[in-house]
Amino acid sequence: MNGKHSINDDLLTPDEHVLSTLEADGSRRWLYPRLSLGKFWHARRIVGYALIALFVALPHLRIFGKPVVLLDITHREFTIFGYVFLPSDTLLLALLMLSVFLTIFLLTALLGRVWCGWGCPQTVYMEFVYRPIERFFLGTSGKGGVPSKKVPGYRRVVLYLVYFVLSMGLAHTFLAYFIGTERLSQWVTQSPFEHPGPFFVMALTTGLMMFDFAFFREQLCLIACPYGRFQSVLLDRNSLIVAYDTKRGEPRGKLHHELPVLDEKQGDCIDCHLCVRTCPTGIDIRDGLQMECIHCTQCADACDEIMTRIGKPTGLIRYSSQDAIETGKQKFLRARVFVYPTLILIVVSALIYNIANKKSFDATLIRGSGLPFSVNQQGLVEDQLKIKVVNRLETEDTLQLKIEPDSLELKIDGDTTMAAKASDTIPLVVIAKRSDFQFGKIGATITVTSQTTKDERSIRCQIFGP
């Protein structure tokens, strides 16, 4: 000891590497993956740019005069493929969510994390927009993608300016999904001093985009996104994964002398670490299936490049499955391949049936609080009820209410005209003669009719009496 005592001296060094993005002292290990230009990368780039075009276009597209996607949280309305889900559509929303989750389960069981590697906006924007720009401004040095050491300061400044402009564009696109393109264009054209709220939201979203793509990066997949953590339950041994062929690759060993001479007992892996240096999450695919693997196929491209150079068949790292790698047999048909589609079919059919039978308004009967009935001065029985109605139309609508049997009288204690897309509660009083009650009840039907669409809803209920 030389008198200076660092806190690091007290730390125990782990025997094995703990996290791909942590240095031994616990600080962040910055990842600068090497670019591997193989067949998968070229295909992913085409898919990636097509998806970016789709992500940008989607909030602008209309179907039946409505946005294809609008997740209007402030007004509690979700528009999906032109159909508006209102807060009262609990069943529809539950069915929609269930069908989305089941589809994710099915796709993951079949294709593994193909979404993470090929379709997720985080991967697509990071690998095909931000990372190429970074490489352009900072260059690369050595065998990995580490930025060049001799980058003039102004290039870094310009890089962050470009990041900022891009993040602002991304923030606008992202918010368009939640506020719609009409409101977005208002926000863009308004002065920030007159409308500080929208300006603040936009500035905050831009800041978050910048933070994510310039700083947080792979940490979003590793720490924040829950999907990777569900991988162990969603995948099975026959799901498609990016896998290292251990049987072919091991025992790994350095390439001796000139290419392509390999030791006879040696596997095909020449331990060049290119698959690790190219990995955007910093892992070694040769350690097996890992939560951090986003199945981006960069390691497969890197290894194919090496195999070609040493005259070996490509595909040492490839799309395969755990069982196929270990036993050589790929089993496609298994229980979840039948169970998930069957459940999806049932849930989606229920969703479509319920949407097809939706009326232009929703009506729910609620019993008034307090006593179930009272007797008025004329000796008639009065039941207090309420009817909660939601007008789904884009225009004002008036509702008509009637009750059966005719011996009952319905008194409406409020206005039945409703503003467009408004919800309201209409108080009702049902009046009945004492003699009409049998065992203290009368079976009744309240029918609500829209004057605009003539849609009709019948609600069965019990009128209570002495």
- Contacting residues toward ligand SF4, per CB under 6 A: 242, 244, 249, 269-275, 278-281, 283, 285-286, 293-299, 302-303, 306, 316-317
Q: Which residues contact 213 (CB under 8 A, 6 or more apart)?
A: 125, 126, 130, 163, 166, 167, 170
Shortest approach of ligand SF4 to residue 369 CB, angstroms? 58
3-class DSSP assignment, residue 426: strand
Q: Tell me which DSSP letter residue 106 carries.
A: H
Read off the amino acid at residue 340: Y
Q: How far is CA 265 from CA 158, 249, 255, 420, in A?
A: 52, 11, 12, 77
Shortest approach of ligand SF4 to residue 131 CB, angstroms? 13
- If the CB atoms of residues 162 and 220 are measured against ligand SF4, the closer one turns out to be 220
Shortest approach of ligand SF4 to residue 69 CB, angstroms? 29
- If the CB atoms of residues 38 and 198 are measured against ligand SF4, the closer one turns out to be 38
Shortest approach of ligand SF4 to residue 300 CB, angstroms? 7
d(CA 178, CA 448): 33
DSSP letters along 368-395, please? PSS-S-EE-TTS-EEEEEEEEEEE-SSS
Q: How far is CA 440 from CA 239, 372, 408, in A?
A: 62, 11, 15
Shortest approach of ligand SF4 to residue 315 CB, angstroms? 10
- If the CB atoms of residues 70 and 303 are measured against ligand SF4, the closer one turns out to be 303
139 burial via Cβ count (<10 Å: 0-12, 13-18, 19+): middle
Helix, strand, coil content of the chain in percent (nearest 5): 40, 20, 40
Q: Tell me which DSSP letter residue 212 carries.
A: I
Shortest approach of ligand SF4 to residue 264 CB, angstroms? 17
- If the CB atoms of residues 293 and 418 are measured against ligand SF4, the closer one turns out to be 293
3-class DSSP assignment, residue 267: coil
Shortest approach of ligand SF4 to residue 110 CB, angstroms? 17
- If the CB atoms of residues 20 and 99 are measured against ligand SF4, the closer one turns out to be 20
- If the CB atoms of residues 283 and 351 are measured against ligand SF4, the closer one turns out to be 283
- If the CB atoms of residues 96 and 275 are measured against ligand SF4, the closer one turns out to be 275
Q: Which residues contact 89 (CB under 8 A, 6 or more apart)?
A: 362
Say how far residue 253 (Cα) sits from the centre of its chain.
42
Shortest approach of ligand SF4 to residue 310 CB, angstroms? 8
Shortest approach of ligand SF4 to residue 38 CB, angstroms? 11
Other beta carbons less than 10 A from residue 168's beta carbon? 17
Shortest approach of ligand SF4 to residue 39 CB, angstroms? 14
Shortest approach of ligand SF4 to residue 133 CB, angstroms? 20
- If the CB atoms of residues 230 and 437 are measured against ligand SF4, the closer one turns out to be 230
Q: How far is CA 445 from CA 191, 451, 455, in A?
A: 55, 19, 16
Tokens of 384: 């207090």
Read off the amino acid at residue 200: F
- If the CB atoms of residues 205 and 231 are measured against ligand SF4, the closer one turns out to be 231
Tokens of 102: 């089941």
d(CA 113, CA 296): 9
Whether 356 and 263 have beta carbons less than 8 Å apart is answered as no
- If the CB atoms of residues 59 and 249 are measured against ligand SF4, the closer one turns out to be 249
- If the CB atoms of residues 77 and 250 are measured against ligand SF4, the closer one turns out to be 250
Phi then psi dihedrals of residue 416, to 5 deg: -105, 10
